[in-house]
Amino acid sequence: MTENQNQPREYDAVLGGQNPPPIGAAVLGGISGIKSSLASPIVEVKIAALSEALKYGDAGLDLIIGVLKDESMSVKIAAYSLLQNREYLNKKLHMPNYLPTFEFDAITVNFLPLKNSCNRHSAHFFPEDLGNGIVLEMVRIRGGTFMMGSPSNETGRYDCESPQHPVTVPAFFAGKYPITQAQWQAVMGNNPSKFKGEKRPVENVSWDDAVEFCSQLWQKTGKKYRLLSEAEWEYACRADTTTAFHFGEYITTEIVNYDASDPCGYTAGGLYREETTDLGIFPPNAFGLCDMHGNVSEWCSDRWNQNYNGAPTDGSSWETGKEDYRVLRGGCWASECIGCRCATRGASPASNRSSGNSFRVAVASLSSSS
In a domain, 368, yes or no: no
**pLDDT at position 364 over 80:** yes
Residues 150 and 274 in one domain: yes
Residues 69 and 154 in one domain: no
Residues 85 and 115 in one domain: no
Residues 190 and 252 in one domain: yes
Residues 79 and 122 in one domain: no
Burial of 171 (0-12, 13-18, 19+ CB in 10 A): middle
CA distance 35 to 17: 10
What pLDDT is stored for residue 161 in this prediction?
Answer: 98
CATH code of residue 291: 3.90.1580.10
Residues 212 and 314 in one domain: yes
**pLDDT at position 12 over 60:** no
Which range (5-19, 115-129, 176-190, 265-279) has the least confidence? Answer: 5-19
pTM passes above 0.75: yes
Residues 291 and 179 in one domain: yes
In a domain, 4, yes or no: no
Residues 181 and 230 in one domain: yes
In a domain, 121, yes or no: yes
pLDDT tens for 222-243 read 999 999 999 999 999 999 999 9
CA distance 204 to 310: 32
In a domain, 252, yes or no: yes
Q: What's the CA angle centered on 364, arms 224 and 167, to 5 degrees? A: 135
**pLDDT at position 1 over 50:** no
User: What residues have CB less than 8 Å from 55, skipping those under 6 apart?
Assistant: none
Of 70, 98, 126, which marks where a domain is finished?
Answer: 98
Residues 329 and 308 in one domain: yes
Give me the number of domains the chain comprises.
2
Of 98, 117, 138, which marks where a domain is finished?
Answer: 98
Residue predicted with more confidence, 269 or 43: 43
In a domain, 274, yes or no: yes
Mean pLDDT over the full length of the chain: 88
In a domain, 6, yes or no: no
CB 27, CB 34: distance < 8 Å: yes
pLDDT tens for 58-76 read 888 888 888 887 768 888 8
In a domain, 2, yes or no: no
Residue predicted with more confidence, 162 or 267: 162
Residues 282 and 332 in one domain: yes
In a domain, 5, yes or no: no
Residues 110 and 94 in one domain: no
pLDDT band at 10 (very low <50, low <70, confident <90, very high): very low
Residues 142 and 93 in one domain: no
Of 67, 98, 129, which marks where a domain is finished?
Answer: 98
* Domain span including residue 138: 102-363
Pairing of strands 26-28, 13-15: parallel
